[in-house]
Structure 1
Amino acid sequence: MKNTTFPSAALPATILADDTLSTPLDKRVIGERNRTDVLTWLARFGWLTGRMVASLVWADAAQAHAMARRTLRNLADDKLIIMRAMPSGGAAYLLSAKGARLLSEQTGMTAESGNALALGNPVHRACSNWYLIRAVQQGYDIVTEHEIATERGPCRVLRGKQADGLVVAADGACIWLECEHSAKSRPERHKTVALVQECLDSDQQVEIAPGFWLARLAVVATNEQALRWMSASFMDANRGGLLRDSQVASVDVCLLPISKSLVPGDPVDGNMWWDVVVPALAG
């Protein structure tokens, strides 16, 4: 049987369709977009681990961690990010000066090098980061602890308190994040109680900044003892008549274990009134 071949000019145009020819270009475009996304999240959070990057940029991908590692390695090779060893192992990734300049040029956003950035308490920051990452995955806007600390958020201080992050709904309603890793002093716990007393479940919505208003507070603890201390302050304030039941009910709680290597455990969500105070009073 004679083998007949056709010159490409004789082929139908659909054989050389855009889907075939553009695949490599599409992959390059997607790759560049992912690189920009990584740089953007590093600018917003200050620092992130590889797992955090994977959860933000490749949340639904089967090979999320592998893709994050490959992209972070390439960005480091291009001197766009800095890798810094963490005290308990693993690494944190931060923007380099070159990466900050590139991001500013590409997106117009304010970006700064993380070269001089202190990591602070890594477990406390990881608690905030992971809670906010979960909110991003659920479709919410966020304001990170780093953005608040560097005055790039809607506000830095409200009633003497600085938020550990904000979860923002489409209408501007904000959940104020309070992360607990170790027992805070009684005066510091009282500041959190006072914030709820003055700003939540009141006759008027308290505006954080134009277009942003305080709707709820979330206490996120990495361990039961830290959550117990904060819960006790809310219970005492309720018993003493400083907080109404409805105000305590405007406080969410989340037990979010964080390992020494900054990997989160399974979160346990609840409500300060219904899941903490009411059972304690009943007992």
Structure 2
Amino acid sequence: MTIDKRIIGERNTLAILGYLHRFGWLTSRMIAALVWPTAKQSPAMARRAVRALADDGIVLRRPLPDGGDCYTLSAAGARLLNEAAGLKARSGASLPLGNTVHRACANWYVIHHINEGTTVWTEHEIQSGRAPIVSVDCKVPDALLDMQEGLVWVEVENAWKNRKERATVVQFSSRYLPAGNRLSELAPGQFLQRVAIVGTNVDALRAMCRSFAEALALGDISESQAADVDLVLLPVDKSLVASERVSGSLWYDGLLPALAD
């Protein structure tokens, strides 16, 4: 039994609008990865879909700083989504795009986990107050993952941070990652299990490793806590296209080899 193409089109439209509500803005490639993750022609399918929605005034096409476009909800698109899904979506006409490379890195990391079936909260959802955690000690996550074993707090690094800024990540990890039998409840029923540091370049990750190594040498963070920090290299170019993701462990791939030298 085949499903009417019109029904499929309506489902895809609502899926696109729903993801724009969750992410704030997306490129057509991101939409392709979310709505047609296994289709061979997904980039072309996404381009056609958002072009038609933009022509109909359902989404807004907005220019990116280094060329290309991203898409946000229009007022009409927000109304359509609200009526269909009972959400409180809003137009993205005046939505600040922010640091687009940083946001794109966070988006791509989250998209990967959505496609794996993980419950996630995007950077936009967190900043909009739609996640269980908005901030801890004035620190705002760049994404949250709700894994079976607990929450993963995501920190995105797309530029070199000074020592003071890196120290805040180390201090957060030392204070809230599991230590012995202690688990940190960041929100009711939500316990922190891991921290994921996602970098767009190797230098940013190496700098973070140095700060963690200094903290380990001073006894400010334990080996077990360092083992609960993931390192992820996720390069994003100026067109906001992500390269292959490489995952590792702060302890086993970052600190232990240096200690063995």
- Tell me how far apart the structure 1 counterparts of residues 174 and 224 of structure 2 sit (CA, whole Å): 10
- What TM-score comes out, normalization by structure 2 length? 0.96
What runs of 5+ residues in structure 2 fail to find an aligned partner? Answer: none
**Aligned partner of 2:142 among 148, 164, 169:** 164
The one-letter code matched in structure 2 to 1:180 is: E
Q: Is the 2:78–2:90 contact (alpha carbons within 8 Å) kept by the matching residues of 1?
A: yes
**Aligned partner of 1:178 among 129, 141, 155:** 155
Q: Is the 1:181–1:223 contact (alpha carbons within 8 Å) kept by the matching residues of 2?
A: yes
Aligned partner of 1:261 in structure 2 is 239
Aligned partner of 1:196 in structure 2 is 173
Aligned partner of 1:137 in structure 2 is 115
Superposed CA RMSD in Å reads 1.2
Deviation per residue, 1:113-172 (Å, 9 max, x gap): 11111111110001100000001111101100011111111111112310000111256x
Q: How does 1:10-29 map to 2 (within 5 A)?
A: 19=1, 23=2, 26-29=4-7
Deviation per residue, 1:156-203 (Å, 9 max, x gap): 1112310000111256x2111000011123222111111111111223
What runs of 5+ residues in structure 1 fail to find an aligned partner? Answer: 1-18
- Tell me how far apart the structure 1 counterparts of residues 132 and 122 of structure 2 sit (CA, whole Å): 11
Q: Could you say what secondary structure the match of 1:161 adopts?
A: coil
- In the alignment, structure 1 residue 83 sits paired with structure 2 residue 61: yes
Q: How does 1:148-163 map to 2 (within 5 A)?
A: 148-163=126-141
- Structure 1 residues 41 and 245 mapped into 2: Cα distance closer, same or farther (>3 Å)? same
Q: Is the 1:207–1:214 contact (alpha carbons within 8 Å) kept by the matching residues of 2?
A: yes
Aligned partner of 2:251 in structure 1 is 273
Aligned partner of 1:38 in structure 2 is 16
The one-letter code matched in structure 2 to 1:42 is: L
Shift of 1:212: 2.1
- Tell me how far apart the structure 1 counterparts of residues 241 and 25 of structure 2 sit (CA, whole Å): 15
Q: Is the 1:165–1:177 contact (alpha carbons within 8 Å) kept by the matching residues of 2?
A: yes
Question: Which of the pair has the greater relative contact order for Cα pairs under 8 Å at 6+ separation?
Answer: 2
Greater Cα offset, 151-160 or 206-215: 206-215
Q: How does 1:106-117 map to 2 (within 5 A)?
A: 106-117=84-95
Aligned partner of 2:217 in structure 1 is 239
The one-letter code matched in structure 1 to 2:168 is: K
Q: Is the 1:160–1:191 contact (alpha carbons within 8 Å) kept by the matching residues of 2?
A: no
Ranges of 4+ aligned residues in structure 1 off by more than 4 Å:
none
Q: Could you say what secondary structure the match of 2:159 adopts?
A: coil
Q: Is the 2:178–2:184 contact (alpha carbons within 8 Å) kept by the matching residues of 1?
A: no
Q: Could you say what secondary structure the match of 1:94 adopts?
A: strand
Shift of 1:29: 1.2
